[in-house]
Chain A
Amino acid sequence: MSGLFFLEQALNGLQFGLMLFLLAAGLTLVFGVMDMINLAHGSLYMVGAFVAAWLAPLTGSFWLAVGGSVLITAVFGMLLEASVLRTLYARDHLSQVLATFALILILNDGVKMVFGNDLPLSAPPALAGPVEIVPGLPYPSYRLLILGVGLALALLLYLLVARTRLGALVRAGAANRPMAEAMGVNIRALFTGVFGIGAGLCAVAGALLGPLLAVQVGMGENILILAFVVIVIGGIGSIRGALVGALLVGFVDTLGRTLLQQGLREFLAPQWASAAGPALSSMMVYVLMAAVLAFKPQGLFPARG
């Protein structure tokens, strides 16, 4: 097993982790600030991917498609929030689970009705080829782009949350909502805005990962669970936690799949390795979560004291 191979997997892990972060950031804010379990968050990711895939041939440009998808999904998210989700803030978690589960069904089928079961989405042709970032390691330039966008957005979010007034309001809301309300913060607008930003981030992730993971109905369910694991590891309500958690999960998941397979082959007969490998590697992320919770029951960076 070579160092180059390891580097390639590490980059893949970083890239996946950054995309997970985009999902987790919105999710952790919604959960942290509004105390709402939103199972439909993965559906927004799916909507973002589909809208981008729909816009790409229409506009003839991948980037216009992504940008358009972000706008449309963000607006869609805000409409959803203002109409249905807002009524759920005051309800118990179980009602939220039921309602957002219902939304998954509605959106899955809704997308199918509007767009069909799946849509093709390809990376922009300019980025089709590999780049030799290190001698001997050709790495797909599209993935490098995802890395770049992911890092840029992470930085942007950090600045937004840590340095702007909006960010301060959001952090206050996550830390102590009744207090924030008492201090006159326009909670309604804040929530709608937070939700819109979360939806936009989902769209970016969906659109960017579309060419790699395939745009199809139901793509949100699997990644949603990972996003929840991320925010539990990172600490609910914390953007920093979401980033650290997402990177951890991204690495463990990606490296786990490949390295574990390799490692197992050293020790076990091939048929056991190929049987145990996928099972164990999928479990790794959950083992990671259990391990983190064992030491830090509130996650790595809990927003609430």
Chain B
Amino acid sequence: MVEARPRLHAALAGAALLGALVLPAVLAAFGAEYYLSLAGRVLVYAIAATSLNLVLGYGGLVSFGHAAFFGLGAYVTGITIAEGQLSPLVHLALVLAVTGATALAIGAVALRTRGVYFIMITLAFAQMLFYLANSIKGYGGDEGLNLRARTALPFGLSLKDETTFYFVALAVLVALLVAMARFVPSRFGRAVVAMRDDVDRAEALGLATFRLQLVLFVAAGMLGGIAGLLHANQQGYVSPGLLHWTQSGTLMVMVILGGVGRLWGGVLGAAALLLLQEVVGAYTTHWEFVVGIVLLAVVLFARRGLAGLFDRGAAR
């Protein structure tokens, strides 16, 4: 791939990791622990947005229903906790199984379509799951479900503690980014990008496009589910709104904002959007208006997203 300025990127990544590691301590030093929960939210959405970036940015599949996996992961976690089961292995296994199976079912149908039809089918399935979540009276229905406990951690640690949660989420994000960095130049990664560029040509050359895209879709769904698992643990609350199409839209906005098909796209986009909401929200209740203006400006003037700001005229 034509990747510009790898050394600069590596340096920036290193600096970002270092910064992330010391952030809790820095915040504590300034008495700004409140922002730790914001940082935690950024991490969770960074994972969700990065999982969408896999399918949307690298795969070129405009999935407008990704919130479904995020929400499913959260709900599976919430319901399992409500039923008294707190084992992390059980939670992880269930989340992966449910989101994986759902993504397999949705993908098997949706990937037979193209363009706007693909968008609509993914949207439709997500909406169906939203309505389903809305109607399960036993687990909160449209009011949502409060979680009394969290996924259990070893060594007496608790995810109710903001700092612990932060580092767990950070570890997951770092693992995801490392895996993606390995994935992109791999055979699968290259095949995925080729399919994004021209899926018919890729198929004409011998790539089993349906199968490859389905695997990608399922992987992305499962990763979205893991983000949901973390979200449920951080908020202690799950609601059907997590599966609504506007939530899918928000995730897409994060990816597009951060840079579609760029390794850091999901992270930068999530950070930018959430920080923007936070900063603007501190000054005015009309933060939606301001955020909307900023987003519009980004679309009109910064075409490659935030990650693209670190290129300098390199071929994409």
Contact = CB atoms under 8 A, between A and B. Distances in A.
Tell whether any CB of A sits under 8 Å from a CB of B in the complex: yes
Interface of A: 31, 37, 39, 84, 87-88, 91, 93-95, 97-99, 101-106, 108-110, 112-113, 221, 225, 228-229, 232, 236, 271, 275-276, 278-279, 282-283, 286-287, 289-290, 293, 297-298
B116 A98 contact: no
B131 A105 contact: no
Interface in B244-292: 245-246, 249, 252-253, 256-257, 260, 286, 288-289, 291-292
Contact of A228 (B120, B131, B256): B120
B183 interface: no
A31 B260 CA distance: 23
Contacts of B136: 275, 279
A103 B137 CA distance: 35
Contacts of B300: 84, 87, 99
A256 to B, nearest CB: 12
B288 A225 contact: no
A29 to B, nearest CB: 15
8 contacts: A97-B62, A99-B295, A228-B120, A275-B136, A282-B127, A286-B127, A289-B120, A293-B117
Nearest to A113: B286
Contacts of A106: 288-289, 292-293, 296
Interface residues of B, number: 40
Given A94-B256, A108-B288, A109-B286, A276 B296 contact: no
A99 B286 contact: no
Interface string B110-137: 0001001101110111011001101111
Contacts, number: 120
A94 B62 contact: yes
Contacts of A297: 113, 117
B256 A95 contact: yes
A114 B152 CA distance: 48
Nearest to A96: B299
| Most central of A88, A98, A225 by chain B CB within 10 Å | A98
B257 A98 contact: yes
Contact of B252 (A98, A232, A275, A287): A98
A197 to B, nearest CB: 22
Contacts of A31: 116
A286 B288 CA distance: 30
A98 B299 contact: yes
A98 B303 CA distance: 11
A102 B117 contact: no
Nearest to B128: A283
A290 B127 contact: no
Contact of A279 (B123, B131, B286): B131
A105 B125 contact: no
B124 A229 contact: yes
Given A84-B296, A109-B292, A278-B135, A101 B124 contact: no
| Most central of B253, B257, B296 by chain A CB within 10 Å | B296
A232 B120 contact: yes
Nearest to A287: B128
Given A93-B116, A105-B291, A282-B134, 14 more contacts: A37-B116, A91-B299, A98-B256, A102-B291, A106-B292, A109-B289, A225-B245, A275-B137, A278-B135, A279-B131, A279-B134, A282-B127, A286-B128, A293-B113
A109 B120 CA distance: 26
Cβ-closest 4 pairs across A and B: A105-B292, A279-B135, A106-B292, A102-B295
Contact of A290 (B109, B119, B256, B295): B109
Contacts of B298: 98
Nearest to A281: B131
| Most central of B113, B292, B298 by chain A CB within 10 Å | B292
Contacts of B56: 94
Contacts of A37: 116, 119
A101 to B, nearest CB: 5
A301 B70 CA distance: 35
B120 A229 contact: yes
